Every structure is written in C-alpha cells, then in structure tokens.
Amino acid sequence: MRHLDVYRDPRAVKRLVAAVRRATTRPWTIMEICGGQTHSIARYGLEDLIGEDITLVHGPGCPVCVTPLEVLEKARRLALQPDVVLHTYGDMLRVPGVHGDLLDARARGADVRIVLSALDAVRAAARDPARHHVFFAVGFETTAPATAMAIEHAAQLGLDRFSVLASHVRVPPAMEAILSDPDGRVDGFLAAGHVCTIEGDADYHELAARFSAPIVITGFEPLDIVRGLLACVRQLEAGQHEVDNAYPRAVRPEGNPVARAALRRVFSPADVPWRGLGVLPRGGLRIRPEYAPFDAELRFPMSLDPIEEPKACRANEVLRGLLAPLDCPELGRGCTPEHPLGAPMVSTEGACAAYYRYRRMA
C-alpha cells in the first residue's frame, strides 16, 4: 500500500488541483475513457475539487457496459444448451439481458462458472473433455491478449471442445465516434492507461490531429487523474492538440510487443456493434480463420434479430457522455445494484454504479 499511498496523497493532489485551477481561464469539457478512472473520480470527489470550469464527462470505457444485448442473449442461450459449460468474468453474470441474466440461466440449470482468467477456462476444458467449454470473453485491448493466448494454448493441447464467444472491442474507434458525434461536447480526452500499456500511443496521434483534441494517457489513482487533467487543460489553453503520456511508469510508446503479437496472431480488427454507439468500423476483434475451430460464433451459429434497448434505461446517453449519471431520473429509484436497468449499474467499472456508490447521497 505504500506505493499506492504516493498516488493518493491528499496534499499532492491538492497542489495539482490548484495548478489546474490556475491554468484554466475558460470552461472545458474533458472525457475520461475508462470506467476505472470514473470510479476514482467519484470515489475521491475530484469533480468538486477541480471547480466548475472543468466539466468531466464519462466515456464508454467499460467492456461489460458496451457488450451488445444480442451477444448477451447468445451467451445465455449457449449456457442453456446441454453439455455446455459457460465460463466468464464475474461482472457478466448480473448484466440484464432481454430474457434475463446469466444468474437466471444458472438457476434454470445452466452450468455457468466465474473465472479469473481465460486460462482457467482452458484448464477446466482439459479436465473435462467430454463437455463443450465456452469462454465468454469481453474486454478491450487490455484483456484480449490473454484470450488470444488461451486460444493458442487450447490449440496446443488439442482441446476440440473449447471455444470462445469473443466480444472484445477496441478503444480508438469509440473515441473517433464520440468526436464525430454532432451532439458531442468533448474538448479533450484522458485516455485509458491500461489499454495504452498494451497498444502504446500509435493510434492516438492521428485522432488528436484530425479532431484538434488533446489526448492525455492517464492512470487510475487520484494523482494520476489530476496530473492528466492538468496536462489536458494546458494543451487546451495553448490551442495544442497532441498526445501526452501522463502515465509513464506503466505506458511506453510502443506498448507491450509480446501482448500485441499474441493479439494479432489470433484476432483481426472487424466492424462490430458497441452498445450505445452502434456498429463501429474496426471497433472490435474477430477470431482469425486459422483459429475458426475455437470460435463459438461458428461452432454454435445463431441468428438473432436486433434487440431494442429498454426504454427506461438511458445508458446509451451515459456511455456517449451526453447524460451525467446523477441527471438520470432512474438512478437510485428505478435502477439500483439489486434491480439494475442496464449494465452501467452492474459493472464494477460502470459509471452509474460509481455514482450510486459514491455520489448518490452527496
């Protein structure tokens, strides 16, 4: 904890906050991409500290939240098939789908298991080769390399009853969609540090230049976030729009070459739907044809009609930065962690969950 304490030091945070206030001469709207950053902002009350001239809006950086309803329904139907074991991360079990969540499927007899890593699912498949084991994989560029290595490991083991229902997505196309949105109001970004730990900063330079929006790679502790805000505000005030790395202890410009290589061996960019943002060109990752036997979409083909979002849930606006969670009339009333209307209230990285937990009573 001593290491973390350095980045949570209230005196250091207040010094940087004072610098942000001194650097700000006009209102700016800045979006933090990652839900982990949103939770830190809400938990430590950073919005109140930085003052009214800086408006923070919360982006779509929660992989659970942006997983489309159609994919959730595929996972639920897969889990209910005989001889199928569905493995996934714990957050996915309570995400409401159109016909219930995975906990409901488990209550109906489905074998749905929580794993901490994709390799846990591979090990389960090796121990129990008579049944089909499907890993329901979600996440950004951060978790996709681990899924890639799990598929490669399953291939090496010759596991012919292991497959992956992949719903991995890429962050830069989502940022492009937000910047292209005529209703958008984002002046600059705090980019997700963990994604850049894998991919580096190569994808961001063209975005920053084309949309005249500074992009600052930022970590997740209070000091990281305020440091990122200061770098972003200084660029905005100076009329600059460059990529800045405010998270150098974790992010190198080239990212992690080993993880990137694994990702590219198994996945290729594809046009995929994001919940709240629609289909984004090259917004996701598909399993390459070389690994088709491990693609659950091919092994268990399903044809689903588009599923409409529940009208009461305004997660689409929250994910695009158009609605603050505290301005949603359902927060804490019709939508709670016990009875969520949408994924942002369920996920540990969801913006609505952050505001319900840390700000609702403020």
Q: Which residue has the tokens 């949103």?
A: 38
Nearest alpha-carbon partner for 167 in 103, 97, 261: 97
Distance CA 40, CA 193 (A): 14
132-139 and 267-274 strand pairing: unpaired
On whether the CB atoms of residues 218 and 194 are closer than 8 A, the answer is no
Residues 232-251 pLDDT 10s: 999 999 999 999 999 999 99
Taking the model in full, what pTM does it have? Answer: 0.91
233: left (phi over 0), alpha (psi -120 to 50) or beta: alpha
Q: What pLDDT is attached to residue 83? A: 94
Sign of the C-alpha dihedral, residues 299, 78, 96, 119?
negative
What single string gives the DSSP state of each residue in 241-265? --EEES-TTT--TT--HHHHHHHHH
pLDDT of residue 360: 64
Handedness of CA 229, 65, 147, 290 (dihedral sign): negative
List, for residues 108-161, the tens digit of each pLDDT value.
Answer: 999 999 999 999 999 999 999 999 999 999 999 999 999 999 999 999 999 999
pLDDT at 362: 45
Q: What is the pLDDT of residue 305?
A: 76
